[in-house]
Amino acid sequence: MRILIISDIHANLTAFQAVLEHAKNQWDVIWFLGDLVGYGPDPNECVQELQKHNHIALSGNHDQAVLGNLDIKSFNREAKFAITWTKEAISPETESYLKNLPSKQVEGDFTLAHASPRYPVWEYILDPLTASENFNWFQTEFCLVGHTHVPVIFEERLNGFRKVNVRPPQYGQGRDALYLGPERLIINPGSVGQPRDSDPRAAYALLDTESMTWSYQRVPYAIHEVQERMEKFGMPKRLVNRLAYGI
C-alpha cells in the first residue's frame, strides 16, 4: 500500500492542496497525524478537503483544545488567540468530525500518535532521551508522530543497552528513499501548514508498505495568499510572519 503521510495542517488549505497536487497519483490512502485546525485561516475547508479522500486521521492538541477538551493555560498568547478564533469559525460539521478522531491508532507495523506514543496529545519528541523513553510505549516496529513540526527520524539501537540515533531527513525518491528496518524507528514527517525547521515549504512523506520505503518531500506553496487571509481575519502578526520563515 502507498500512503501519503501528513501532519499538522493547521487550517492551511493552500499548503494542504499544494501537497495533494505534488503527491498526485502516488498514494492510495492518507494517514494524517493530527492538528487539522488551529493557527491557520481555513479550518472548515481543510476538514472538507481531507474528507474527500480515503484517509485515517488522528486528533491533535489543537483539535482537542478547539473542542474544549484541553486546558489552554499552557498555550502561548498567539496559540490561545488561534484556538478562540477557531472555536468561533468552525461549523457544526467540522466540530462533529473532529470529535470522532482518536489520538493514537495502530495500523499493521505502524503505531500512529499525534505527539508521542506515551502522551498522544502532549509530549514533544525533540531529543534522543525523550525518544528513547518512548520506544517502551509502542509494540510495533515503527511509530509515526507529528506535533513538533520538525521532520526527523529516531532510530533505536540495542546493544546490551538502548542507544538512539537521530537522523535528519533526506529528501528524494527512488534511490534516495529510506528503507525501513531492521531497527525500530520513531518518524516525524514534519508539518504541512506550519513548518518549524527553518524551511517554509510544506513537508510530507510517502510510505510504501510493500517495498518498506519512506520518502521525505517538500513543496513550495503560495504563502502570501494564506498570510492575506490571516490578516483579513486580524490574526496576530507573529503567526502571519512565521509562515514565511518556517519557524
Nearer to Zn ion, 64 or 215 (CB): 64
Sequence-distant (6+) residues with CB within 8 A of 60 are: 8, 33, 34, 35, 36, 38, 103, 114, 115, 121, 146, 147
Q: How far is the CB of 35 from Zn ion (least distance, A)?
A: 4
Q: How far is the CB of 202 from Zn ion (least distance, A)?
A: 13
Q: How far is the CB of 145 from Zn ion (least distance, A)?
A: 11
Nearer to Zn ion, 81 or 183 (CB): 81
Which residue type is seen at 240?
Answer: V
Nearer to Zn ion, 8 or 42 (CB): 8
Q: How far is the CB of 86 from Zn ion (least distance, A)?
A: 13
Nearer to Zn ion, 35 or 156 (CB): 35
Give the residues lining the site for Zn ion (CB under 5 A): 8, 35
Q: How far is the CB of 7 from Zn ion (least distance, A)?
A: 7
φ/ψ bin of 87: left (φ > 0), alpha (ψ from -120 to 50), beta (otherwise): alpha
Nearer to Zn ion, 180 or 191 (CB): 191
- Using alpha carbons only, give the angle 52, 56, 62 rounded to the nearest 5 degrees: 95
Q: For the sheet containing 142-145, what is the strand order?
A: 104-107, 110-113, 142-145, 185-188, 152-158, 162-167
Q: What backbone torsions phi and psi does residue 164 show, to the nearest 5 degrees?
A: -115, 125
- How far is Cα 247 from Cα 191, in angstroms, rounded to an integer? 11
